Chain A
C-alpha cells in the first residue's frame, strides 16, 4: 500500500519568522526578520538599534577622560580593547605618547581581554549548537582572567584601566606570577577544547559546510578581525600597523581557508594560543619606568582630527575624534566592527536552512553594545 503511506506534498508557501530581539542565541538584543520558503531562507533582514544609547552624542558633552569610561560600555566583553583607541586618538590630538612600560601593559591587558572574549565566544557558540559542557570549561578559564583584572584595577567587566597618557597604575605585587600561572593553565586546557568541541564530529557537521563567505565578499561587506581572516585574508592590524608594544612581540595570525562557520570559530580558538604567547613575551620584556606620561589635569587638545585603530577581539575598532580646542570632543565616531560584521548577515543567511541560522549568527560573534553604540 505505498500510495497510502506517501505523505501529501508539503506546502512551501513563504512565511515570515521573527528571530529575537529576546532570544538566547542572538547574543544581545538583535532582531532578524526571516522570510522562509519551507526549510530555506529566502530573505533575512537584521534589525539593530535596540541597545542604542547615543554614546557618540554623550561624548560631545563630556571631558576626554570621561569618554574613556563610556568606551567601556561599547563592547562590554572586551572593554580594555575599547578604551585603547579612545586613548590613542586623544593622545594623537594632544601630541602625547604613553611611556614604554604603559605601552607594554596595554598589550598585556588587551591580549588577556581578547582571551576572555574568545573564551566567551567559545562557550556560547557551543551552547548555540547544543553542546553545554564547553561553556563550563570556558567560563572556568574566563573567571581567572577576570580575577586578574580585578586584582589589577578593581573592575571585572568595565575597567577604565587604560588612561589618556598611559595606564591607571602599575602591576600589583606578584601579579606577573599569577598571570603566568594562568597562561600555563590555559596552555594545558586548549588541547582539551579541541577534543571537546573543535573536532567533535557533530560540531564539524554543523559548522564545516555552513555559512561560507568567500574572500571577495568578506572584503566588500567590510568584515574585519577573525571573520575576515577566516575567509583567507591575512590582515591583522597588530601586524599591518603595529601600535603600542605590538612591534616587539612575535606571533602568528590565524588565517582560515574557506570562510565557513568552522573557520571563523577555529580562527578564534587559535588566536587564544597566540594571545597567550604575546602576553608571555610582553611580561618577559616589560620595560621599566613610569606608567603615565605627563598630561595636564584639564585636557584641551588643539583643534584637529585623529583616527585611531586597534585590532579588537571582534575586528578593527576605530575611533575618529575631532577637537575644536574645547574640553569635550566636537565629534566622536566609533567604527564598530560588530556593526559592519553584522551587515553581511543579510547575504550569508540567504539559502541557509532555518536550523543553521543560529550556527551562522553565532559564528560572526557580535556584541550588540558595540554595534548599536
Chain B
C-alpha cells in the first residue's frame, strides 16, 4: 500500500486526522487530533490496513516551546515491513489513552514513557515505574529535570 493510498483512506475515515507537520524522514507520519482519535486510529490501522505490529512508543519533550509533549507511535505491517508513524500532542503534564487494549506490547513501552516523562496513560492496567529506581523522584527525560544528589553521587 502506498503512502498516498493510506492518506486517501485516512481522509475518508478520520476527517480530523492529517499528515503531521514534521515528518519522520522516509516514514509516513500522521497526526491524531485527540486522544480518543488515537485509539480509534490505532485500531483502524491494525484491523483495516493490516498494520498489526506496534513498533514503538516514545515521547518528545516540547514543553519549553509549546508546553506540550509529543507522543510518537510507529506501526509495522508484517511481513512486508511497511511502516506508518502516528503523533499526538498532549499538554504538560501529559495524559493520553492507553493502547494496551489494542496492542498488548504497548504495556511496557507506556510504562517507560510514564517513568521517563511523567505522561499518564488512562486505562493502562499497571502504570508503574519500570526503568528508574523507586526512590528516584521526577522524570529524567524531561528537559527540566534536575538531578538531586543521591547515595550514588
Contacts and interface: CB of A to CB of B under 8 A. Distances in A.
Interface stretch (A13-21, A49-57, A273-281): A49-57
Given A57-B140, A330-B60, A222 B27 contact: no
Contacts of A127: none
A269 B109 CA distance: 30
Contacts of B53: 219, 222
A48 B25 contact: no
Shortest 9 CB-CB contacts between residues of A and residues of B: A222-B105, A240-B81, A235-B79, A333-B58, A49-B131, A335-B56, A52-B131, A305-B24, A306-B25
B40 interface: no
Nearest to A222: B105
B85 A307 contact: yes
A154 B130 CA distance: 36
A331 B130 CA distance: 20
Contacts of A222: 53-55, 103-105
Nearest to B53: A219
29 contacts: A52-B131, A56-B141, A57-B140, A92-B26, A219-B53, A220-B52, A220-B103, A220-B104, A222-B53, A233-B78, A237-B81, A240-B80, A241-B81, A305-B22, A306-B24, A307-B24, A307-B26, A307-B27, A318-B74, A320-B24, A320-B56, A322-B60, A331-B141, A333-B72, A335-B56, A335-B58, A340-B105, A340-B108, A372-B131
A40 to B, nearest CB: 22
Interface residues of A, number: 36
A162 to B, nearest CB: 20
A221 B60 contact: no
A343 interface: yes
Given A219-B52, A307-B85, 5 more contacts: A48-B131, A307-B24, A307-B25, A318-B55, A333-B72
